[in-house]
Amino acid sequence: MTAEIKYRGRTATAEDIAFIRQLIAENPEDSRRSLSVKLCQEWGWVQANGAFRDMVCRGLMLMLHRKGYITLPERKQIPRNPFVDRKKPERIEIDSSPLHASLSALPPLTWRRVRNTEAEALVNGLIETYHYLGYCHPVGEHLKYLVFAGDQPVACFVWSSAARHIGCRDRFIGWTQKDRAHRLHYMSYNSRFLILPWVRVPHLASHLLGRMARIISDDWESAYHHPVWFLETFVDTDRFTGVCYKAANWRDLGDPTGRAKDDRTHAKNRSIKAVWGYPLVKNFRERMMTGEDA
């Protein structure tokens, strides 16, 4: 038997596998979910906000089951996957009167966090309707914002958990694979940024990015009980130059390969996304590698 099994940043040793077998044997009436909760309790496997990492734990146990290392009880029920029947956000009509002005002439700008509020549907619908990528449900921890100029919505942001591995980003930070596994949650990914198409305000995009950088860490800590120290995003180089990120002092970290994971031709088969990053603290490298306020 393989001495170690790796899954989602967790390494299961032979001793760990033996412990899981014993846990199953001692709780023969338990469901798979109940077993994963008990394993999280035994291992102290929790998220930064204190919630059990139940889904990840279940995934590990299922992988061990499929590889023949453990034998899970039969499924007592097959839960409905909420993503299978997820409907696209509906188009929502709002005031689309042209807003053409200088930045200084705009009414006061305000940010509204909309996740788990009635306004979340508005953000989802605006992104689905007007963003070239449409709406995609965020992965992991995430926040959504609606930006107003006075009473008029002008922009939307979606921030989510960062991608697990990006070569140019990881080289820029300088962290090890172990560092990344333990501290990836201190990063946030700007998965959607939309300025509504009837808004024409020079320098608005970079201004919003700068304001966003000043509030997101505190908001993240309020929602998930930990700050973020580094921001990242992808810019489609076939469509954009990333000028607003550059103007907001983000850094161009380089380009991924632009190839799908299963591509064997080593030829570009999709548009290349430039990776841009923004450190929120001066000593971000020390924090990302040690987890301490160095």
Weakest-pLDDT range from 43-52, 56-65, 146-155, 168-177: 43-52
Residues 181 and 264 in one domain: yes
Residues 159 and 276 in one domain: yes
pLDDT reported for residue 264:
47
pLDDT reported for residue 79:
61
In a domain, 85, yes or no: no
Residues 110 and 151 in one domain: yes
In a domain, 185, yes or no: yes
Residues 56 and 108 in one domain: no
Q: Is residue 1 pLDDT above 80, yes or no?
A: no
Residues 120 and 200 in one domain: yes
Residues 28 and 118 in one domain: no
Residues 111 and 61 in one domain: no
Q: Is the dihedral of CA 115, 156, 203, 242 positive or negative?
A: positive
Structural domain span for residue 25 = 4-66
Residues 23 and 152 in one domain: no
In a domain, 19, yes or no: yes
Number of structural domains found in the chain: 2
The CA-based angle 226-293-227, given to 5 degrees, is 15
pLDDT reported for residue 229:
96
| C-alpha to C-alpha distance for 190 and 170, rounded to whole angstroms | 17
| C-alpha to C-alpha distance for 94 and 125, rounded to whole angstroms | 11
For 97, 181, 196, 197, 243, the CA distances from 131, given in Å and listed in that order, are 18, 32, 9, 9, 18
Q: Is residue 224 pLDDT above 50, yes or no?
A: yes
| C-alpha to C-alpha distance for 111 and 148, rounded to whole angstroms | 7
Residues 62 and 120 in one domain: no
Q: Name the helix (H) or strand (E) containing 12.
A: strand 10-13
Q: State the pLDDT confidence band at 263, using cuts at 50, 70 and 90.
A: very low
**Cβ-contact 91, 124 below 8 angstroms:** no
Q: Which CATH number belongs to the domain containing residue 281 in this structure?
A: 3.40.630.30
In a domain, 79, yes or no: no
Instruction: Classify residue 134 by its DSSP letter.
Output: -
Question: 89: which residues sit within 8 A by CB, 6+ positions away?
Answer: 121, 124, 125, 127, 128, 135
pLDDT reported for residue 287:
92
In a domain, 114, yes or no: yes
Question: 52: which residues sit within 8 A by CB, 6+ positions away?
Answer: 37, 40, 41, 45, 46
Q: State the pLDDT confidence band at 49, using cuts at 50, 70 and 90.
A: low
Integer-rounded Cα radius of gyration of the chain: 22
Instruction: Classify residue 163 by its DSSP letter.
Output: P
pLDDT reported for residue 83:
54
**Cβ-contact 195, 145 below 8 angstroms:** no
Section 248-271 average pLDDT: 65
Condensed to tens digits (0 to 9), the pLDDT of residues 151-210 reads: 999 999 999 999 888 999 999 999 998 899 889 999 999 999 999 999 999 999 999 999
Question: 127: which residues sit within 8 A by CB, 6+ positions away?
Answer: 89, 134, 135, 156, 158, 192, 194
Q: Is residue 11 pLDDT above 90, yes or no?
A: no
In a domain, 91, yes or no: no
pLDDT reported for residue 88:
84
Residues 34 and 159 in one domain: no
For 246, 260, 275, the CA distances from 242, given in Å and listed in that order, are 6, 23, 10
pLDDT reported for residue 236:
93
Identity of the amino acid at 192: R
pLDDT > 70 fraction of the chain, expressed in percent and rounded: 88
Section 24-44 average pLDDT: 90
pLDDT reported for residue 259:
41
Residues 30 and 146 in one domain: no
Of residues 47 and 212, more confidently modeled: 212
Q: Which of 54-58, 90-94, 101-105, 137-141 has the highest mean pLDDT?
A: 101-105
pLDDT > 90 fraction of the chain, expressed in percent and rounded: 61
Residues 139 and 35 in one domain: no
Give the chain's length: 294
Take residue 289 and report the two structure tokens written for it: 């590698």
pLDDT reported for residue 89:
85
